[in-house]
Amino acid sequence: MAHGTTLGARLYSGETSFEFIATRKRWYAVSALLLAISIGTIVFQGLQLGIEFKGGSSYTVTKAEATVEEARAAVESAGVSSEVIVQSVGNDKIRVQTGSLSNAESNAVQDSLAAKFAIDVESIDTQIIGPSWGEEITKKALYGLFAFLIAVMLYLAMTFEPKMAIAAIAAVLHDVIITVGIYALVGFDVTPATVIGFLTILGYSLYDTVIVFDKVRENTKSITSTGKSTYSQATNLAVNQTIVRSVNTSVIALLPVGAILFVGAGLLGAGTLKDLSLALFIGLAIGTYSSLFIAPQILSGLREREPAMIALTKRVNARSGASTPVVATEAAAEVSQNRGPRNQPKRKGKKK
């Protein structure tokens, strides 16, 4: 080993290597557990939709001495008790969110809050969003998500290959489901800022995956003609060559997002930052994980089932003199079993 050689250099040259592809079942099991928890949380607990999506009213009172308990009591005294969410925003603001109210009910809530905190009604920041507007916002959010996924799949299919597009989209869906599940578990409101955060993490996750896939394409450009390694081995090398860059980029991105989440939202109480920063923080971490442990594994599994790659695996293993595949894939193992175990001892006998 050369003096001063870094871990990144050893990973890039193949001198040091971590097994990402051969241990794919382990990572699939981890992701399956996370997906099951996320889906279960979404189904049984559901998302806490903000008034922008379901419609409703929002009243923000600015007063240093205001408390959540006093605001809740004021709303209840106005005759409104269902779908009421009262939150403290910063050190001097209280936000009250309710379901859809009539004009009379809305005026009663404003009057009650003004009387409770001894302020003018005009000083209360009031927002009223109808159910139809919420439905329209929901439709636009879903349209944006589907349009994004379709555009990305077409781009990857034209730039790389269809199976890379399939693997990348599978990883993106994996990231979205887990992020939404954690969001439902925490119970934060889903707002337009949350949707922006989701779209942002989709782009970031794809960026990381494309970096890995570009290296996979470079390593497998003439793999069937050279026959030096299997597709799984070349893919594993690509992941090792890009892991340092992916981790460094993710850590640098997570630091400012973490500052926004824990300082801006946690200490300063900036509610709008909380919605965006939580989605970004979870999504960035999950996106890095999927680009290293899910997308390359799915791609390798799809490509190793091709007849040309199965034949390549046999040639590589025969050249290395191994009795079993160096990087075993399910497809190659099935073909070997279907041809019968009795053929292999005969080939070994001829070599002797």
**CATH number where 114 lies:** 3.30.70.3400
Same domain, 162 and 251: yes
Same domain, 281 and 226: yes
Predicted pLDDT at 120:
84
The answer to whether residues 144 and 69 touch, using CB atoms and an 8 Å cutoff, is no
Take residue 173 and report the two structure tokens written for it. 């869906």
Q: Which CATH number is 252's domain given?
A: 1.20.1640.10
Lowest-confidence range among 94-98, 263-267, 329-333? 329-333
Of residues 43 and 93, more confidence is placed in: 43
Q: Which residues of 91-191 form beta strands (DSSP E)?
A: 93-98, 125-129, 189-190
Residue 3 counted as domain residue: no
Residue 4 counted as domain residue: no
Same domain, 125 and 137: no
To which residue do tokens 């109210």 refer?
A: 101
Which of 129, 148, 180 is the last residue before a domain boundary? 129
Q: Residue 134's pLDDT band (boundaries 50, 70, 90)? A: low
Same domain, 98 and 174: no
Rounded Cα gap, residues 283 and 287, in angstroms: 6
Same domain, 203 and 263: yes
Residue 288 counted as domain residue: yes
Same domain, 149 and 249: yes
What total number of domains does the chain contain?
A: 3
Q: Could you tell me the end-to-end alpha-carbon distance of the chain, in angstroms, rounded to an integer?
A: 37
Same domain, 232 and 123: no
pLDDT tens per residue across span 326-339: 444 444 344 344 44
Same domain, 65 and 107: yes
Residue 10 counted as domain residue: no
Give the bridge partners for 97, in sequence order: 58, 85
**Domain around 97:** 56-129
Amino acid of residue 34? L
